[in-house]
Structure 1
Amino acid sequence: MSKIENLSLEDVMGERFSRYSRSIIQERALPDIRDGLKPVQRRILYAMNKDGNTYDKAFRKSAKSVGNVMGNFHPHGDSSIYEALVRMSQDWKVREPLIEMHGNNGSMDGDPPAAMRYTEARLSKISTEMLRDIDKDTVDWVLNFDDTEYEPTVLPSRFPNLLVNGSTGISAGYATDIPPHNLGEVIDAVLYLQKHPKATLDDLMQFVKGPDFPTGAIVQGIDGIKKAYETGRGKVIVRSRTTIEQLKGNKSQIVVSEIPYEVNKAQLVKRIDELRLAKKVDGISEVRDQSDREGMSIVIELKRDVDSTGILNYLFKNTDLQVSYNFNMVAIDHMRPKRLSLKRILSSYLEFQQEVIKKRTQYDLQKALDRQHIVEGLIKALSILDKVIKTIRASKNRKDARDNLVKTYQFSEKQADAIVALQLYRLTNTDVTQLEKESQELSDQIAGFKKILADPKELNRVLARELRAIAKKYRNPRRTEIQAKVATIKISTDVIIPDEEVVVMVSHDGYIKRSSIRSFKASGDENGLKDEDYPIFMKQLNARDHLFMFTSKGNLIYRPVFEITDVRWKETGEHISQTIGLDSDEEIIGTFAFSSLKNPGVFLIATDDGHIKRTKLTDLAPGRGYRKHAYMYEKLKNPNTRVVAIDYLANSEVDGKLLLISKLGLALRYNISEVPVNGARTTGVKSQNLGDGDVIVNMQLVNEDDVVAIITQRGAFKKLAVKEISATSRARKGVMILRELKQHSHRVVDFTVIGNDTQPLEVLTDHQRVHDILPNEFSLGGRYSNGSFVIDVDSEGTPVKLRQKPVELTIS
């Protein structure tokens, strides 16, 4: 009768997942600290060794080895077994390949290996050191999945494979990333630790300098290595080995001869070529992979007279020519996953090897004792040979002969079996001599084995001698160079940004674009803007210039010119709100371009509520988030306040005059030097003493001989000489420049300095109409005149802005 239990889903899932986790941690994804192998790797090596598929025999089909492993030891998919077998043969993945393969076993370009039916494999020579002495009871054995035969729980691993070949894997809650190391260095460290059990990390790092990747390259950051060896976690930078070669005609090329560990070479070459095609870096003419059987070689051919070092630095930063490697040294230690220090790995390996030597010696001792027992019996039998022969002849059968020998001459059963099985040719004097010689040799061996087992120092001497022999046999030079410091990468803008002239436009509605000179010239009068939109900034700039756009709400938008969307001139371009959110009633009131952000100039900023300040260009340097956020250049006192004017003074010590005019017709002129220099997040000082309901409409830089044009809300236009407005000082009320009427008085909408009497002015109205005015058709008015009516506000709309008519852009 079946028993039904009431269990909660939480308990069932917890218990099942716990068992599943334990299985994949211990039996699949993580290596053992002693032999550095995952179960599938261990089973592959053991099965191939058991099958005689060793380095000194012919290659065999990989499918046969995979089938043996799958059928006898590893009940998982053949593809996962084959992948593990292939990886152990790839000399760009493991420092000392444990498998040799004939056929396509993949490549650094990420190409898959040929199917297992096409490739052939065998154990490599160094694999014999992993399996040496496995038949001498040196390791524990368990039944396989179907209890038909035994498999080892660990291999004797006569060299420190965990560090030499490294490991990578992901299990439930754990991951491991142990880099490969140099075999000679690791064995030297083990030998030192054997003599100095209290060795410090610094002592061990005299031998183990750091990772030694099969792909070579350069590791930077000794502090990261030390932290990793101390805690099991750490980060280093792995940089390709490159050289810059000079070619004819002031050209050069970058040759990459070694790339970082586990970087896909084909993807790396493709990425560099994509940067070239996208013009992300200026100066690369061609990228090609010239790798062959002689070695790896990626050639990056550069254009004439370019900064080759700068381009290389850019590639280090933006491609896998340089990557970071994160140590996460986790392995199974006494059936538990643990993050391990270098000393812990070395000491565990040392303890394991001492145990292997001890078990091997016990096995050899027992075998020698058993043989000595037999030899002693044979010598004794030969000394009474006639009696023995007589006894055997008088016996009924072999068993009876054995029993009679035991009973008559006190031989042991094993000795009696050996005597009965003795061949006639052995009954010579020569054989007696050989047996006595063998007995002596066995006695010496037994004494040696007992000494090893009784004296730990002797055992360590044997271990050290064997480790030194392995190091001598398989030692090879370090491939990876270790550099103490991580090199800082400085990328010149000259490398990233092409030195080319472009045309940049910013429109009233917030569209921004750049186009090539060629596209601009080919487009004629078409600028891609909607009918009601118009340019507020249009200029020929260099791609390396910087663009500042100031909004009416005190926000500054920064764009390097090369980052502005590159489109044909007939296209609209990108709206600034696609990346930076602006309010619906916020508009760009000033746009300026600079070749350097370190210019000494200042901005003169005026708000409609009567504040003014100067702010240095250097104080408005963009922050990291400039692509996504505008940042403050003027702190506004209340939500309704607007910045009405901004101008740039190339010389911060300029001694000129500025003119402010208010809506009610009050004008104030004073020296710029009266305006203090303040930071970006400030409001400034009082610019003009405004009455209730009055606001500043604009600010202009003026000279004594200038003439200003004024437009009112009733459509009246007036010319006024600046000298009519006496220069006083800041924060005064100012003087009236309009005559107050009893009804429907004129109010100033905007004003501007007339640069050239023959150059037209444009009045923009709230009906999206543009009205042209020729200043030379009007005479100067006095302070108390209201000018002449030039716009029919009923039909054309109320004026909102007065500006110089844009001059057609000429390309140099």
Structure 2
Amino acid sequence: HVIKHARARLEDVLELLPGPDFPGGGQIISPAEEIRQAYETGRGSLVVRCKWEVEQLARGQWRVAVTELPHGVSVKQISEEIEALANPKPGLGRKEVTQEQKRMKQFILDQIDQGGVRDESDRKSKLRLVIEPRSSRQNPQQLMAALMVHTSLETRYAINLTWLGLDGLPETKGILEILREWGEFRVATVRRRTQFRLERVEERLHIVLGRLLAFVKIDEIIKLIRGSEDQAEAKSNLQKKYKFTERQAQDIVDLRLGQLTRLDGVKLNDERKALESQRKELKAILGDEKELKRLVVAELQEDAKKYGDERRTLIKTAERAQVERNVVEEPITVILSQKGWIRARTGHAFDLSSLSFKDGDALLQTLECKTTDPVIVLSASGKSFTIDAAAIPAGRGDGAPVNTLVNSSSDDIVWMRSGDLSQPLLMNSSAGLGFVCKLGDLLTKTRQGKDFMKVEEGARAQPPALVAHDKVAALSSDARLLVFPLEEVPVRPNGGVGVQLIALPEKATLASVATTDGKSLAVSGFKRVRKSAVLNQKQIAEHMGKRAQRGKVCDAGFRPDRLGD
């Protein structure tokens, strides 16, 4: 289609190619807009899930048979994932499994029996994974939803359309540009092939015409050759007397007499006609670009008819699998320690003076939310994770390390937040880089989290600032303050590196950021004891500038190291 229509649009391509078609089938449940965006930009990810069916058995029993898996997922992988959930093992350096692992084990065993997952794949059924429920009274939809949430029966498949283009360089391109370039490449290939065939046809025709002329004057030519001293002289005499080219003369000298019978003469004449016809066709193709493209399209259609098959992957938009948990909505206060221990206490306005921590640990942050809220945490490496508030250990103990609830490993947790997912944030790192996003952009659906802010080696992600005003205040570790318009900072909902907020000399870092209306700005720091002050409009104006400038020393009567309340 793209070869025939130079002005083809992405919408035209999507009608013919609505989405990827994986060899193992499965179902793409991502909305059409996500597929379109991935094809348009060359990057994205699509949600792919398995295909399954319920098989009714005797006496009201039933079982589930999975017949297709997402691309790149094997039956062995699914079996191992379910086994790991049903029989969890302690993590590295631990003696016991976590409370979360225990809860998950009980949850899985409530769904399926031990040994209730079997691989029945054979020659007849190339893929067949049988799952037997714990009870026939269970809902098959809920059973599969639970397994799809916690295993690779439903997963995201990354699309990265990076390829070597016509310039020979790797580049990420949209599907339309890729098809257009491939079409140009194919047309050029067929043109070279046709040119090659034309050259071979003309070479052969040249030889055939020489043989036909020799056939007519065979007696004279034999006499001339016999009268020559050697082959070189014979070739030279043939070229002089009969105007043969060097190639034709060589062919005649090398020719066997048995090939000059009357029947061979007829065959040569037929071959001449066929070669002249081929030459005419090949020249017509090379002389007309439209004719060349018609040939390319015809060949592709023939290949599709010969090697193509029906689409295997179903494209049908659906919601991602979810497991509903009955959680009582009540207010809680989440407490995060400096060493990454997290716990919850019932109610708000909690008395912090009653808190105790392990030796060498202290309070980092508290957060008031509800048990039904997601709690987003940010690590020093720039990864974001999401924890269900109801899953945070409650009671009067020290809680649990964050890395037992999500896979944050030994990464420090620097910040947590819940509430309005549309709340704008100013992300920042100690290297002075930052960008704007929304709280909801940091949400994740897996324990692995996601790399949201790319942090340079030796730097750390820092607590984001809530965007409430139209100006950004950035404070460096050497007490220089810069205020500039918020519009100079890019919005990056998918995260990234960010741009320089304030210029930093060697060994200096970004101490704090905040937003201000330009009329007042709270600063705090140390001078024997911790002090705070509020800069007025005139004082703030002295520090106004443009993003990435050095800023001026902030004279507040003490050395400030933090902005905001």
| Contact 1:402/1:417, CA 8 A, preserved across alignment | yes
2:116 is the counterpart of 1:284: no
Deviation at 1:250, TM superposition (A): 3.9
The equivalent of 1:253 in structure 2 is 63
Deviation at 1:246, TM superposition (A): 3.0
Deviation at 1:545, TM superposition (A): 8.1
Task: For residues 83-124 of structure 1, give each alpha carbon's deviation from its aligned partner in whole angstroms, at most 9, with x where no partner exists.
Answer: xxxxxxxxxxxxxxxxxxxxxxxxxxxxxxxxxxxxxxxxxx
SS of the equivalent of 1:197 reads coil
SS of the equivalent of 2:182 reads helix
Match of 1:210 among 5, 19, 30: 19
Deviation at 1:289, TM superposition (A): 1.2
Match of 1:326 among 158, 163, 166: 158
Deviation at 1:236, TM superposition (A): 1.3
The equivalent of 2:134 in structure 1 is 303
The residue correspondences of 1:725-744 to structure 2 (distance < 5 A) are none
The residue correspondences of 1:787-802 to structure 2 (distance < 5 A) are none
The equivalent of 1:623 in structure 2 is 373
The equivalent of 2:83 in structure 1 is 273
Distance 1:374 1:620, change over 3 A: closer
Percent of aligned pairs with the same amino acid:
32
| Contact 1:242/1:256, CA 8 A, preserved across alignment | yes
Deviation at 1:231, TM superposition (A): 1.2
Please say which of residues 248-257 and 413-422 is displaced more in the overlay. 248-257
| Contact 1:365/1:450, CA 8 A, preserved across alignment | yes
| Contact 2:343/2:394, CA 8 A, preserved across alignment | no
Distance 1:443 1:398, change over 3 A: same
| Contact 1:310/1:492, CA 8 A, preserved across alignment | no
For 1:381 and 1:362, locate their aligned partners in 2 and report how far apart those are by CA, in whole Å.
29
Task: For residues 115-145 of structure 1, give each alpha carbon's deviation from its aligned partner in whole angstroms, at most 9, with x where no partner exists.
Answer: xxxxxxxxxxxxxxxxxxxxxxxxxxxxxxx
Letter in 2 for 1:283: Q
The equivalent of 2:215 in structure 1 is 382
Match of 2:37 among 220, 223, 227: 227
Distance 1:621 1:369, change over 3 A: closer
Letter in 1 for 2:134: K
For 2:189 and 2:329, locate their aligned partners in 1 and report how far apart those are by CA, in whole Å.
72
Deviation at 1:388, TM superposition (A): 0.4
Deviation at 1:256, TM superposition (A): 0.8
Deviation at 1:235, TM superposition (A): 2.1
SS of the equivalent of 1:280 reads helix
| Contact 2:146/2:323, CA 8 A, preserved across alignment | yes
Aligned length: 335
For 2:267 and 2:243, locate their aligned partners in 1 and report how far apart those are by CA, in whole Å.
23
Letter in 1 for 2:153: L
Distance 1:251 1:547, change over 3 A: farther
Q: Which runs of 4+ in 1 moved over 4 A?
A: 544-548, 555-558, 580-584, 619-622, 627-631
| Contact 1:217/1:240, CA 8 A, preserved across alignment | yes
Letter in 1 for 2:43: R
The residue correspondences of 1:572-611 to structure 2 (distance < 5 A) are 579-580=343-344, 585=354
Task: For residues 620-669 of structure 1, give each alpha carbon's deviation from its aligned partner in whole angstroms, at most 9, with x where no partner exists.
Answer: 654334344879xxxxxxxxxxxxxxxxxxxxxxxxxxxxxxxxxxxxxx
| Contact 2:27/2:48, CA 8 A, preserved across alignment | yes
For 2:374 and 2:22, locate their aligned partners in 1 and report how far apart those are by CA, in whole Å.
36
SS of the equivalent of 1:194 reads coil
Letter in 2 for 1:225: I
For 2:11 and 2:202, locate their aligned partners in 1 and report how far apart those are by CA, in whole Å.
46
2:147 is the counterpart of 1:315: yes
Match of 1:464 among 297, 303, 319: 297
Q: TM-score, normalised by structure 1?
A: 0.39
For 2:149 and 2:236, locate their aligned partners in 1 and report how far apart those are by CA, in whole Å.
85
Task: For residues 232-268 of structure 1, give each alpha carbon's deviation from its aligned partner in whole angstroms, at most 9, with x where no partner exists.
Answer: 1122110000112233344322211111111132121
| Contact 1:289/1:297, CA 8 A, preserved across alignment | yes
| Contact 1:239/1:323, CA 8 A, preserved across alignment | yes
For 1:476 and 1:310, locate their aligned partners in 2 and report how far apart those are by CA, in whole Å.
34
For 1:280 and 1:249, locate their aligned partners in 2 and report how far apart those are by CA, in whole Å.
26
For 1:364 and 1:463, locate their aligned partners in 2 and report how far apart those are by CA, in whole Å.
15
Distance 1:547 1:445, change over 3 A: closer
| Contact 1:374/1:414, CA 8 A, preserved across alignment | yes
SS of the equivalent of 1:395 reads coil
The equivalent of 1:446 in structure 2 is 279
Deviation at 1:396, TM superposition (A): 1.6
SS of the equivalent of 2:54 reads strand
2:123 is the counterpart of 1:293: yes
For 1:328 and 1:249, locate their aligned partners in 2 and report how far apart those are by CA, in whole Å.
49
Deviation at 1:329, TM superposition (A): 0.5
For 1:381 and 1:622, locate their aligned partners in 2 and report how far apart those are by CA, in whole Å.
98
Q: TM-score, normalised by structure 2?
A: 0.55
SS of the equivalent of 1:237 reads strand
Letter in 2 for 1:195: K
Letter in 2 for 1:232: G
Deviation at 1:194, TM superposition (A): 2.3
For 2:327 and 2:20, locate their aligned partners in 1 and report how far apart those are by CA, in whole Å.
44
The residue correspondences of 1:383-422 to structure 2 (distance < 5 A) are 383-422=216-255
Distance 1:415 1:578, change over 3 A: closer
Deviation at 1:488, TM superposition (A): 3.9
Distance 1:547 1:236, change over 3 A: closer
For 1:546 and 1:264, locate their aligned partners in 2 and report how far apart those are by CA, in whole Å.
38
Task: For residues 6-30 of structure 1, give each alpha carbon's deviation from its aligned partner in whole angstroms, at most 9, with x where no partner exists.
Answer: xxxxxxxxxxxxxxxxxxxxxxxxx
The equivalent of 2:175 in structure 1 is 342
Letter in 2 for 1:271: E
For 1:293 and 1:383, locate their aligned partners in 2 and report how far apart those are by CA, in whole Å.
67
For 1:439 and 1:346, locate their aligned partners in 2 and report how far apart those are by CA, in whole Å.
40
| Contact 2:54/2:140, CA 8 A, preserved across alignment | yes
The equivalent of 1:502 in structure 2 is none
Deviation at 1:424, TM superposition (A): 1.3
| Contact 1:289/1:298, CA 8 A, preserved across alignment | yes
2:261 is the counterpart of 1:428: yes
Task: For residues 295-336 of structure 1, give each alpha carbon's deviation from its aligned partner in whole angstroms, at most 9, with x where no partner exists.
Answer: 111111002212221121111111100001121111111122
SS of the equivalent of 1:199 reads coil
For 2:178 and 2:394, locate their aligned partners in 1 and report how far apart those are by CA, in whole Å.
53
Distance 1:449 1:292, change over 3 A: same
For 1:204 and 1:216, locate their aligned partners in 2 and report how far apart those are by CA, in whole Å.
21
| Contact 1:237/1:486, CA 8 A, preserved across alignment | no
For 2:33 and 2:140, locate their aligned partners in 1 and report how far apart those are by CA, in whole Å.
30
For 2:199 and 2:354, locate their aligned partners in 1 and report how far apart those are by CA, in whole Å.
97
Letter in 1 for 2:138: V
SS of the equivalent of 1:309 reads helix
SS of the equivalent of 2:55 reads strand
| Contact 2:214/2:252, CA 8 A, preserved across alignment | yes
SS of the equivalent of 1:425 reads helix
Letter in 2 for 1:212: D
| Contact 2:214/2:221, CA 8 A, preserved across alignment | yes
Letter in 2 for 1:194: I
Distance 1:557 1:220, change over 3 A: closer
For 1:470 and 1:622, locate their aligned partners in 2 and report how far apart those are by CA, in whole Å.
56
The residue correspondences of 1:775-790 to structure 2 (distance < 5 A) are none
Higher relative contact order (CA closer than 8 Å, sequence separation 6+): 2
Task: For residues 680-733 of structure 1, give each alpha carbon's deviation from its aligned partner in whole angstroms, at most 9, with x where no partner exists.
Answer: xxxxxxxxxxxxxxxxxxxxxxxxxxxxxxxxxxxxxxxxxxxxxxxxxxxxxx
